[in-house]
Amino acid sequence: MAVMIQSWCDLTFLHWRYPAEQVQALLPPGLTVETHDGAAWIGLVPFRMEGVRLPGAPALPWLSRFPETNVRTYVRGPDGLSGIWFFSLDAARLPAVSVGRAAYGLPYFWSSMAVEVVGPRMVYRGRRRWPGQAGARCDVSVRVGDELAEGDLRPLDHFLTARFRLYSRLAGRMVAAKADHPPWPLRRAEAEHVDQDVVQAAGLPAPDHDPLVLASAGVTVQIGMWRPV
């Protein structure tokens, strides 16, 4: 049963390979990093959140629409299921940050952010404000290419994007929630400019190679209730 409905729009997936042991060292007990092609993958995912609301309730115009960026990796939980672990989530609305930290145990940060779409180019800008790590930045520009048909997708594309479960720690316990949504409408994309240190703020070294980039117009997501794992 969904407890929150939201749309993730004008989204870009940027991913880098990392040694599995390097990522595993940053995970809490009970989570095991998942690998593909012999590597763990760190994702930097900027987008625009829209229509955030409770089921059956209207979306509040200002509060329900804002940029967000997350830093994440892919894990297997103690329940044996695959999901996402967030190292950080930056959002441009302080109330959303406060609720995310207090009610969901997620590492949200309040940031000054913007998303701009001009033709095939998507531009994201962000500077972290609170709490801690003030000034951590994420400035990204990508050029979006052709849409990918299902038959064009590689196994790695599925591994990085077909994720329908979130893990967190809440009140000292490992919890998980479903994130139900239709398949991503994906496009190939190319990074024109990446100036960021939010990955480093998560405790990882700076990426030493160009990212793998995918883009999407977005999907509507239904977030389920946290359940103890």
Q: Are 4 and 223 in contact (CB under 8 A)?
A: yes
Residue 158 lies in domain: 2-228
pLDDT in tens, the chain (229 residues): 899 999 999 999 999 999 999 999 999 999 999 999 999 999 999 999 999 998 989 988 888 899 999 999 999 999 999 999 999 999 999 999 998 998 889 999 999 999 999 999 999 999 999 998 889 999 999 999 999 998 999 999 999 999 999 999 998 999 999 999 999 999 999 999 999 999 999 999 999 999 999 999 999 999 999 999 9
* Of 138, 158, 175, 134, nearest in space to 214 by CA: 158
Domain count, the chain: 1
* Residues in CB range of 33: below 8 A, 6 or more apart: 20, 23, 24, 27, 40, 73, 74, 75
Q: Which residue has the tokens 């309730």?
A: 57
Look up the CATH number of the domain holding residue 80: 2.40.400.10
Phi/psi-derived region of residue 18, left when phi > 0, alpha when psi is between -120 and 50, beta in every other case: beta
DSSP state of 81: -
